[in-house]
Structure 1
Amino acid sequence: MAARFLKIAAVYFVLGVCLGLTMGITENFSFTTVHAHLNLLGWVSLALFGIIYYCFPKAGETKLATIHFWLHNIGLPLMQGTLFIMLLTSNHSIVVLTIIGSIMIVVGAILFLINVFKNVG
């Protein structure tokens, strides 16, 4: 799982950097929250999860790690994609999808916590 987390972290890094560049070029910073979340929850958090799972392979080989990976990587695009659309269109009718994505990330974080306490020395 470590390699999966690190590879997808690199994808989020590029997405976050490209969004930041686009905002800078256009001088439109309305998507700053999306940019920050892609960098923090995408790049930084996933890279740290990958490093932890690399350093503690027993934790990375669990079903908890797999479920955590999928919850985070379905929840984050759902949360940030719908937030991006809401900011772009001022249509808040899809806020429930942002909330669902957020909850998925929180559940994944709780599973990560449980996994660390169970499998990290």
Structure 2
Amino acid sequence: MGKTFIKIAAVYFSIGVLLGMTMGIIHDFRLTSLHAHVNLLGWVSTALFGVIYSIYAFAAKTKLAKTHFWLHNIGLPVMMIGLFCESFGITAGVPIMIVGSLAVVIGTIMFTINIFKALNTNSIQRANKDLHA
């Protein structure tokens, strides 16, 4: 799962860079908020999820991690579509953005719970025993 998060993050990084370059070339900065969200939630956060799940592979095998993965990777594009629409004054984008945002927030909370549960001392000791068994 760590590798998959990192690959998806690279896609968001490319989208963010291309979006920023395009806004600069055409001198239209209405999508600045979208650009910031693609870079922060798409590139940075997704890459960090991938790195953390790569380092602590046992945390990536939980049901919480799998649910987090799907909530983030479905919610974020939905949120981006809503934010895109809202940036151009299309009011129908607001409820779409809210639904996507809620999925991302719930996924992030699940990630946090997973990390706290998985990274307690007993879990790390069990994982180390499994690696050396």
Secondary structure of residue in 1 paired with 2:90? coil
Q: 1:1-121 to 2 correspondence within 5 Å?
A: 1-88=1-88, 90-121=89-120
* Identity rate, percent: 54
With the length of structure 1 as denominator, give the TM-score of the two structures: 0.95
Q: Aligned-pair RMSD on alpha carbons?
A: 0.9
CA deviation digits over 1:19-50, x for unaligned, max 9?
00100100111100000000000000000011
TM-score with structure 2 setting the length? 0.87
Note the C-alpha offset of 1:81. 1.1
Question: CA separation in 1, counterparts of 2:102 and 2:47?
Answer: 20
2:115 and 2:78 map into 1 onto residues whose CA distance is 26
What SS is found at the alignment partner of 1:91?
coil
Distance in 2 between the 1:38 and 1:61 partners? 26
State the aligned residue count: 120
Q: Which has the higher contact order (CA 8 A, sep 6+)?
A: 1
Greater radius of gyration (CA): 2
Write the distance in 1 (CA, Å) between the matches of 2:92 and 2:115.
37
- Aligned equivalents of 1:92, 1:75: Cα separation in 2: 19
The runs of 5 or more residues in structure 1 that have no matched partner are: none
For structure 2, the residue ranges without an aligned partner over 5 or more in a row are 121-133
